[in-house]
Chain A
Amino acid sequence: NAGVTQTPKFQVLKTGQSMTLQCAQDMNHEYMSWYRQDPGMGLRLIHYSVGAGITDQGEVPNGYNVSRSTTEDFPLRLLSAAPSQTSVYFCASSGRSGSSGANVLTFGAGSRLTVL
């Protein structure tokens, strides 16, 4: 199993450009999510999905779109990039594997995005 795979690892955009961060998991997890990580602010939830065809907003959804057409894929779209979206983005999926029996988040390796 590859786990959670994110692409690209690095991306530089100009203000106003659009792009899609790809995320795929091969663990048959129902739940997937996107976080952004900024210094001193921890991991903030952007959007999440509890299954194919179902998505919902997290803490910081503005400027981002998601869709979940299959269980495996959960792409994150930036429609018009802004400098405030410069960040490290993590995709995650979850399934029951923790010692407490709860759903445990497994993160991808991260995507570093710079918007000029």
Chain B
Amino acid sequence: GENVEQHPSTLSVQEGDSAVIKCTYSDSASNYFPWYKQELGKRPQLIIDIRSNVGEKKDQRIAVTLNKTAKHFSLHITETQPEDSAVYFCAASFSSNTGKLIFGQGTTLQVKP
């Protein structure tokens, strides 16, 4: 079945540094890869997503890269700020039309002032 592995489970950086979170997926038919941010006690919210026909996508300080051959994708956050502290989840779907997502285990990011 579909499986998504996410690393690292925890990540601590200094404010202003970059943070990278990596995910691998098992189903080569997966074609949609979103990233969600979950602040403490809140619901997950989409921060960026990418489809399999695109190798990289940027939105201000965040970017996602996709390597279909290796079946892995990464989230890059530059110039980190304390408000970036949260749990980040990657996910994969074999159909961008249904919204059925399989999530990674999550990464707790701590940005130290």
Q: Which residues of A contact B (CB under 8 A)?
A: 31, 33, 35, 40-45, 48, 50, 58-59, 90, 92-95, 98-105, 107-110
Q: A40 to B108: give the CA distance in the assembly, Å.
A: 10
Size class of the contact patch on chain B: 20 to 34
Q: A44 to B106: give the CA distance in the assembly, Å.
A: 11
Q: Which residues of B contact A (CB under 8 A)?
A: 1, 6, 9, 32, 34, 36, 43-46, 49-51, 54, 57, 59, 89, 91, 93, 96-106
Where chain A touches its partner, the secondary structure class is strand
In contact, B97 and A103 (Cβ under 8 angstroms): yes
In contact, B49 and A98 (Cβ under 8 angstroms): yes
Given contacts A42-B6, A43-B44, A43-B103, contact A103 B98 (CB under 8 A): yes
Given contacts A31-B100, A90-B44, contact A104 B89 (CB under 8 A): no
